[in-house]
Each structure stands twice: as C-alpha cells, then as structure tokens.
Amino acid sequence: MGRRMRPPARGAPLVLAAEKVLQHAFVTRAFAADRFGVREQVAVDYRWLTVLGALAGIGFLVAIPGRLARRRRAAWLLLALVALDVAGEFVAQGTALAARVLARPRAVSAP
C-alpha cells in the first residue's frame, strides 16, 4: 500500500490568493493604460472595472497575511472576494458577449 496523499487545503488558498493579486494588478494596469485594446472588449465603463479590480486585488493581498496567521475573518474575506470576483467576471465578459450578440445585424425575412 502506498502513502495516503494529503489534500493541499492549507497552501492552495494562499497560492490562489497570490495569483488573484497578480491577475488583478495586470488587468487593472491593462485597463488604465488601454493595453491590448481591452477597454473596447467590455460593455460596462472600464473605469468602474479598473477601480473595482484594484480594490479586489488589495483585498486579496490583505487576506494573505491573515490566512497565514490563521485568522477566521481572513478566510471569510477570501470567500467574499472570490464570490465577488466570479460575479465580476460574468459582468465584464457577459456584458461584452451580450453587446456583441445584440449588435449583430439580424436577417430580415421577405414577406
């Protein structure tokens, strides 16, 4: 019999939080400098996404030391930030998708 593997429950949230800090930093910078034409890819005002993305990145950054110190409120902060991040992804990408679908010319059927 082999050794039982332990799930990476302790380190995984910290690694994911660090990844979210980097992601939000790069995306916020891309919105601020209009890198890669990212402003045109979202249907909502990019300034809102820039500010909210920066705040989310700061929130993830604040949660990391709290999780290292095993603070319960840091775990709740991470859970709330993840939920808001998922919702934000749908808003940013979903509205862009909806805008593209609605902007397509419709075929007019002959009477």
Distance CA 25, CA 27 (A): 6
Flag residues of the chain having pLDDT under 70: 1-2, 5-10, 94-111
Distance CA 88, CA 97 (A): 14
pLDDT tens digits, residue range 58-79? Answer: 999 999 999 888 888 988 999 9
Name the one residue in this structure whose structure tokens are 């380190």: 11
> With contact defined as beta carbons under 8 Å apart, do 80 and 48 qualify?
no
- Encoding tokens for residue 110? 């002959």
Q: Give pLDDT, residue 93.
A: 73
Distance CA 110, CA 39 (A): 38
Local structure of residue 3 (DSSP, 8 states): P
